Structure 1
């Protein structure tokens, strides 16, 4: 159930006597309004204005006097921040935050251009780290999702530069993104910021694995730490949004393993030392289970099926069967949870995951001897049977819940005997 559904159908329920107006308001209070989607106009406006200014200045940069260069940098930076503060005071947060974001972009450009102006050769990323610090500070001051997005993107760009150009990993940048923005997310867990932050942390973790030349499966230890943080978040929507990118990464990995996993191609890059890896992943699992138990979310524990280390199995048939079992079990858990929560979006996702697992099973196991028409026939029968079962269960649940709801609304239960008519008083 969602707030939008309650807002559209709730008044009709009150009119029909199913619930009272007070109950409708109490239901709405249980589903707070979701944060508005991040507006594209301020983002695109900031980027386009910033890029146009940078391209114009860059084309004539060498011909400008040094004093004019500094004046342009300081003037554009100060002007963007001043204009943003002006529009915020006038009650226009979209334009105001967009201009503040432009000022943040110009701040980074000023660092780079000033370094070129005085021919400063950078052997570290201390100047660029200051750019990330500014982004974190502005995010806290203004509480803007646009600034959160820009800060995470800046952190990803700085870390990519460090890895590619300097051959090192900036732990300060990673700490600012994961720690600084992580605390911001904990206090303001809206869905957009949660998803952006999770994706940014996963990017940082991936670059760390590259720098350390570690087995790529170590990536899932920090990735599932992000997932476990979502289990501890009191806001269910914000916590689930944070868990989205780690789950997508885990599913794509398991899907790829089921499709392409062979011993001679994956053993050297996927199999870390068994005990250290399982110990680290087990510790994260324990943290996640504790959070689920504390927040009453043990129903999402089957998400961890995607982290079963099937890559330790030999390639070929054993690996294919094991990974397909995991994919089917995970799809089934999503469908069961969607049915229990009456969540149509999760039901759609579960059906898509079920079809994807069935396609992999066909191409990996039965392509050589099962006719394609028979495969599609079996797949269709399975989905129709699943749809029939879920509808039947839903009807049973609604039928069982109808008498209490009817009694609460003052109507007789469906199977209740009709009240006997009262004898009218006699007037002699």
Structure 2
């Protein structure tokens, strides 16, 4: 919640009697203004500019410097960053302290690369880069910082990409450090803190990227990507914090939806067969095992209503291409959109209602383009399509507004009971 939002909305809250003026002042005091935050960033920005200036001077004269001087510069900058971070942390400036520690971690990785180049080790051994990931994960456990939790995840992606693209190997150690090291750090945050949803989303994206690199390097069918992707989804089903679990599940669901959408748009021929169809028993067995793990997590956490998410993983690519495949995939897209709308209506969640509406409209657009493009005159095609989408949008917005209004009225009526001797309030239109 931002201070600008509080400054704009809280006067109306006070006028409506939701909070008192004293409570409003306490809320505003809890969130410092953006100007105060910006002033707090000035030392960090100044340190970065000074560091960049020194770095540009050193980089311009790097090749002419003696080897001991190069090593001394790398070691000195590393120690200075870590010492500066500890100094600011002890003075209570967590933002600058964690920023300098993160800068030290980046310098550590750069020192590994430059030292390897100095002694002709680049391209032959990945152990140095792996040490970079290890140090990053250790730092995330030593300090309670979102930035220091995110850095090893990002570094792991960079190291894995280098390993697969430059060395032609997949580093399972890097994958394990990110999945188990950073993953456990996110799963069990510091005492008194909730799991960070941003870290969850980036962690899922990192694991999905590494899964895609593994599929590309092993020349496997690209649908094998969804086995590790849905393992990440299943992990979200087991997380006790629902918001954090859904953040972890977001990237796998987006990937599955885009795959189903692509199948509906471009699956009319059998040209995809060589890329998408893995051995039936092996693939379906692995997918069923992950599905069982997900269902067990949903049952344990009481979230079986989200089981229709798995509709997107129905292996329709085993069907022959053509109109039947397009229609079957469109049915799946409609069923998934309907499940999202149904859950949103039951829970009264405005964001999920909007998402379900968008998914429903997208499925309708795909169906319209796929099934009527060849049968209608182009001008008539666009006219009917525009009227259809406008009508559908109006209807869904009206339904959403009615359900949300009914939910708010129910909550308001049940939460506040009138006093026995008080007069009923005047009716509002």
TM-score with structure 2 setting the length: 0.83
Per the TM alignment, residue 191 of structure 1 is displaced from its structure 2 partner at its CA by 0.8
* Partner residue of 1:202 out of 208, 223, 226: 208
2:340 equivalent in structure 1: 334
1:227 equivalent in structure 2: 233
RMSD: 3.2
CA distance in 1, matches of 2:230, 2:104: 34
Tell me, what secondary structure is at the counterpart of 1:335? helix
Per the TM alignment, residue 316 of structure 1 is displaced from its structure 2 partner at its CA by 1.4
Q: Deviations over 1:226-263 (max 9, x none)?
A: 11111111111111111111111111111111111243
Per the TM alignment, residue 165 of structure 1 is displaced from its structure 2 partner at its CA by 1.2
CA distance in 2, matches of 1:254, 1:47: 45
CA distance in 1, matches of 2:182, 2:269: 40
Cα pair distance change 1:121/1:150, threshold 3 Å? closer
1:99 equivalent in structure 2: 100
Q: Deviations over 1:327-372 (max 9, x none)?
A: 1111122222222222222222222212211111121111123422
Cα pair distance change 1:400/1:103, threshold 3 Å? closer
Q: Deviations over 1:36-56 (max 9, x none)?
A: xxx996998888776665554
Cα pair distance change 1:378/1:144, threshold 3 Å? same
> More deviation in 68-77 or 253-262?
253-262
CA distance in 1, matches of 2:422, 2:403: 24
CA distance in 2, matches of 1:292, 1:94: 38
1:372 equivalent in structure 2: 382
Q: Which blocks of at least 5 consecutive residues in structure 1 are unaligned?
A: 25-32, 34-38, 415-428
Cα pair distance change 1:49/1:276, threshold 3 Å? farther
Structure with the bigger RCO (C-alpha within 8 Å, sep 6+) is: 1
Judge conservation of contact 1:135–1:150 (CA < 8 Å) in 2. yes
Judge conservation of contact 1:50–1:102 (CA < 8 Å) in 2. no
Per the TM alignment, residue 169 of structure 1 is displaced from its structure 2 partner at its CA by 0.5
2:148 equivalent in structure 1: 147
Per the TM alignment, residue 217 of structure 1 is displaced from its structure 2 partner at its CA by 0.5
Cα pair distance change 1:44/1:218, threshold 3 Å? farther
Cα pair distance change 1:403/1:103, threshold 3 Å? closer
Map 1:117-132; keep pairs closer than 5 Å: 117-120=118-121, 122-132=123-133
Task: Tell me if 1:287 matches 2:297.
Answer: no
1:298 equivalent in structure 2: 304
Per the TM alignment, residue 13 of structure 1 is displaced from its structure 2 partner at its CA by 11
Task: Tell me if 1:359 matches 2:365.
Answer: yes
> More deviation in 279-288 or 256-265?
256-265
CA distance in 2, matches of 1:246, 1:53: 42
1:85 equivalent in structure 2: 86
Per the TM alignment, residue 391 of structure 1 is displaced from its structure 2 partner at its CA by 3.5
Task: Tell me if 1:307 matches 2:313.
Answer: yes
CA distance in 2, matches of 1:358, 1:122: 50
1:161 equivalent in structure 2: 162
Tell me, what secondary structure is at the counterpart of 2:169? coil
> More deviation in 398-407 or 143-152?
398-407
Judge conservation of contact 2:348–2:403 (CA < 8 Å) in 1. no
Judge conservation of contact 1:46–1:101 (CA < 8 Å) in 2. no
CA distance in 2, matches of 1:278, 1:140: 38
Report the number of matched residues: 395
TM-score with structure 1 setting the length: 0.83
1:325 equivalent in structure 2: 331
Cα pair distance change 1:280/1:413, threshold 3 Å? farther
